[in-house]
């Protein structure tokens, strides 16, 4: 069970769950609520290499389409193909439904991500 | 037929037809010969079989369920759903226009060429540009054309490193996608608290890799960019070009011109600003105007004049080429020309003044019932952020659906994305004070209902041909094909 306090966050509303040399990425509850019912997800290919801030995929709801961004430099090692078949799971439990797992290539960038407390303040400003 | 909601595949009857063919004179010919077996159809095509009167009643009944600008108020923000004067249709139906063939010799279509030449001149005057192409068939098509021109300009100067286009987050949604289609990388920059381009973010984004900036002005927030000259100066100093999305030109006709603001390229949406049909097929028209230094890159052909004779000039060596078959949606351009000629220069200026006045009138009254995130004089439209505190219980979608029960087309909802629970309202100039007041009254009543009986909103609409549609199911499990009845056809 993933909980907010163990995660880091981007200002594009991705959560990051760092597990040693790798990390999972997903969409925060705040963002999934703002988007509404998610109806489509586009994921990248495994082995794709990204820099922090690159768009790696798309989430589409009945209201809007939004890009998903890489929180850190990295190489995709696994994608959650279940989301492509049933994107509604993201609305039900945004923290459990990761989009992709990647190998972190530049750990120093971790300092630039937001802590849970920072992210909470950030969302309050956005609301 | 009051409750008619059938599909053609529901009313098909095997053998029923709306035609009678003469005897088949080719029945002894082996037409299959010479066609590869894999390309031959094995079954009869599964098409509905209905009589002529069935088809007519089917489509007339469905059309009467539609909402249209000719039926009522249609404040769909960003879309400029204004009344389309019927004289436009009369002019487009004149035999000399309607029956033209695009391959007719030039000397037999001088009137049509003259009309297009003059429309180019009039649109150039309104936008402050040198020349205008009428080829693009829609706004986004115009954006693509303009961006291709910008690309051609940089490449003609051997400047190949400019791969980025800056797009503010208050731009039309088509801007970033057009830039992507033309092969640029999109750099998004934020708006500041008053809805203007954030100058510091712009400075940070500018470099010698930036091909240009696309600006929607007034923006999708309905706000005039207050730092427009500063924005133009900064982009030009960095060697970039300025693209003006003129989709919101209904706010500025005869008052300010993109050319004077320093812009190099602009597109207009004639199906918005110039009262040509819009929605339900249009078709659209998205002319693109450019300053003198970009004229050589305009799509070929252009219409030119030698003495008293008009001709299509294909001899344009630096042109980006043809971007549409023939020369744009000619019938639509006839309508736009008619509108501009009937309004005249003073009339068009009055259009913008009234469009802005109507929007401000609505904004002034509706902010008493809905949340107004940026309280500043708006232009042709404004954006509300839903009902405010009540939005967890009743959201913007519920308000929009309830408006249908009051007989109004809802405003644009959930766009722009930078405003939560957005309701984007554009009344246009063609609406009377009485219509605006009736709309305010309906919006106020809905706000009251949200407090007293939220269920009424959540289950709306109640009096439309169909009740609330399940958008989520429609998106997740779309049914895209009419299922024909089983059995022998």
Q: Choose the closest CB to A62 out of B415, B420, B472.
A: B472
| Residue (of B216, B252, B303) closest to B128 by Cα position | B252
| Residue (of B67, B75, B71, B69) closest to B362 by Cα position | B75
How large is the average pLDDT for residues B136-153? 97
Q: What is the pLDDT of residues B268-281, one digit of tens each?
A: 999 999 999 987 66
Percent share of chain B, pLDDT over 90: 78
Low-confidence ranges of chain A (pLDDT < 70): 127
User: What domains lie within chain B, and their CATH numbers?
Assistant: 8-65 (no CATH), 87-342 (3.40.640.10), 351-475 (3.90.1150.10)
pLDDT > 50? residue B489: no
The highest-confidence range among A106-110, B438-442, B470-474, by mean pLDDT, is B438-442
The answer, yes or no, to whether the previous bond of B25 is cis (omega within 30 of 0) is no
The confidence score (pLDDT) of residue B1 equals 61
Q: How far is A21 from chain B (nearest CA, A)?
A: 30
In the numeric block, the tokens 């309004």 are attached to B343
The confidence score (pLDDT) of residue B370 equals 96
B415 and A34 within 8 Å at the Cβ level: the answer is no
How large is the average pLDDT for residues B95-102? 95
Residue of B nearest to A36 (CA): B472
- B→A interface, C-beta within 8 Å: 414-415, 417, 420, 471-472, 475-476
Q: How many CB pairs under 8 A join A and B?
A: 21
CB-based contact B449:B393 (threshold 8 Å)? no
State pTM to two decimals. 0.88
Q: How far is A62 from chain B (nearest CA, A)?
A: 6
A39 and B472 within 8 Å at the Cβ level: the answer is yes
Query: What's the farthest any 2 CA atoms get from each other in chain B?
Result: 79
Residue of B nearest to A37 (CA): B472
Distance, CA of B25 to CA of B28 (rounded, Å): 8
How large is the average pLDDT for residues B50-54? 93
Q: What is the pLDDT of residues B119-132, one digit of tens each?
A: 999 999 999 999 99
User: What domains lie within chain A, and their CATH numbers?
Assistant: 4-126 (2.40.50.100)
3-state DSSP assignment of residue A67: strand
The confidence score (pLDDT) of residue B487 equals 55
The confidence score (pLDDT) of residue B2 equals 65
pLDDT > 50? residue B209: yes
pLDDT range class, residue B227, cuts 50, 70, 90 = very high
B472 and A64 within 8 Å at the Cβ level: the answer is no
Distance, CA of B37 to CA of B180 (rounded, Å): 42
- Chain B residues inside the 8 Å CB shell of A66: 417
- Chain A residues inside the 8 Å CB shell of B187: none
Q: What is the pLDDT of residues B230-244, one digit of tens each?
A: 999 999 999 999 999
Q: What is the pLDDT of residues B329-366, one digit of tens each?
A: 999 999 999 999 999 999 999 999 999 999 999 999 99
Q: How far is B232 from chain A (nearest CA, A)?
A: 27
pLDDT > 90? residue B156: yes
- Most B CBs within 10 Å: which of A62, A69, A89, A91, as the mutation test of the B interface? A62
């Amino acid at each position: 069970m993933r909980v907010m306090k163990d995660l880091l966050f981007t200002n594009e509303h991705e959560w990051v769950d760092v597990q040693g040399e790798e990390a999972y990425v997903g969409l925060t509850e705040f963002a999934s609520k703002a988007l509404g019912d998610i109806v489509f997800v586009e994921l990248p290919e495994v082995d794709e290499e990204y820099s922090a801030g690159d768009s790696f995929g798309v989430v589409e709801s009945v209201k809007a389409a939004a890009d998903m961004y890489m929180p850190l430099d990295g190489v995709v090692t696994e994608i959650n193909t279940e989301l492509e078949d049933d994107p509604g799971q993201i609305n039900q439990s945004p923290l459990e439904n990761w989009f992709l797992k990647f190998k972190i290539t530049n750990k120093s960038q971790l300092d630039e991500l937001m802590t849970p407390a920072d992210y909470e303040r950030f969302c309050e400003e956005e609301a | 037929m009051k409750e008619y909601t059938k599909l053609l595949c529901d009313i098909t009857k095997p053998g029923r037809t709306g035609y009678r063919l003469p005897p088949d004179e080719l029945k002894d010919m082996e037409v299959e010969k010479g066609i590869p077996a894999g390309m031959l159809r094995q079954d009869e095509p599964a098409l509905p079989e209905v009589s002529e009167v069935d088809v007519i009643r089917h489509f007339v009944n469905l059309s009467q369920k539609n909402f249209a600008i000719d039926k009522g108020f249609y404040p769909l923000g960003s879309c400029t759903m204004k009344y389309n004067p019927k004289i436009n249709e009369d002019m487009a139906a004149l035999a000399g226009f309607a029956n033209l063939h695009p391959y007719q010799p030039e000397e037999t279509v001088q009137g049509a060429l003259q009309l297009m030449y003059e429309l180019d001149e009039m649109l150039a005057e309104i936008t402050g540009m040198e020349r205008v192409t009428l080829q693009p068939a829609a706004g986004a098509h115009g954006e693509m054309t303009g961006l291709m021109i910008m690309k051609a300009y940089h490449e003609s100067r051997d400047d190949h490193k400019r791969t980025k286009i800056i797009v503010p987050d208050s731009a039309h949604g088509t801007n970033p996608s057009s830039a992507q289609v033309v092969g640029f990388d999109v750099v998004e920059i934020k708006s500041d608290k008053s809805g203007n381009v954030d100058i510091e973010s712009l400075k940070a984004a500018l470099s010698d890799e930036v091909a240009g900036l696309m600006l929607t002005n007034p923006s999708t927030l309905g706000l005039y960019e207050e730092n427009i000259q500063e924005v133009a100066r900064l982009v030009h100093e960095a060697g970039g070009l300025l693209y003006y999305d003129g989709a919101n030109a209904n706010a500025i006709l005869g008052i300010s011109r993109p050319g004077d603001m320093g812009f190099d390229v602009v597109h207009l949406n004639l199906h918005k600003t110039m009262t040509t049909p819009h929605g339900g097929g249009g078709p659209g028209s998205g002319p693109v105007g450019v300053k003198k230094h970009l004229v050589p890159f305009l799509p070929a052909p252009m219409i030119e004049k030698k003495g008293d004779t008009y001709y299509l000039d294909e001899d344009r060596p630096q042109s980006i080429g043809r971007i549409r078959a023939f020369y744009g949606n000619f019938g639509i351009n006839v309508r736009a020309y008619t509108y501009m000629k009937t309004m005249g220069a003073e009339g068009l200026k009055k259009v913008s003044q009234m469009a802005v006045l109507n929007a401000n009138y609505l904004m002034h009254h509706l902010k008493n019932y809905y949340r107004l995130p940026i309280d500043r004089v708006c232009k042709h439209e404004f954006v509300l952020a839903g009902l405010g505190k009540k939005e967890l219980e009743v959201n913007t979608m519920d308000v929009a659906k309830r408006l249908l029960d009051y007989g109004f087309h809802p405003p644009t909802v959930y766009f722009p994305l930078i405003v939560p629970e957005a309701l984007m309202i554009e009344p246009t100039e063609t609406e009377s004070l009485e219509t605006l007041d009736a709309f305010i009254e309906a919006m106020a009543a809905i706000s009251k209902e949200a407090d007293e009986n939220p269920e009424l909103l959540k289950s709306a609409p109640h009096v439309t041909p169909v009740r609330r549609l399940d958008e989520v199911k429609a998106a997740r499990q779309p049914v895209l094909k009419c299922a024909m009845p089983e059995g022998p056809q």
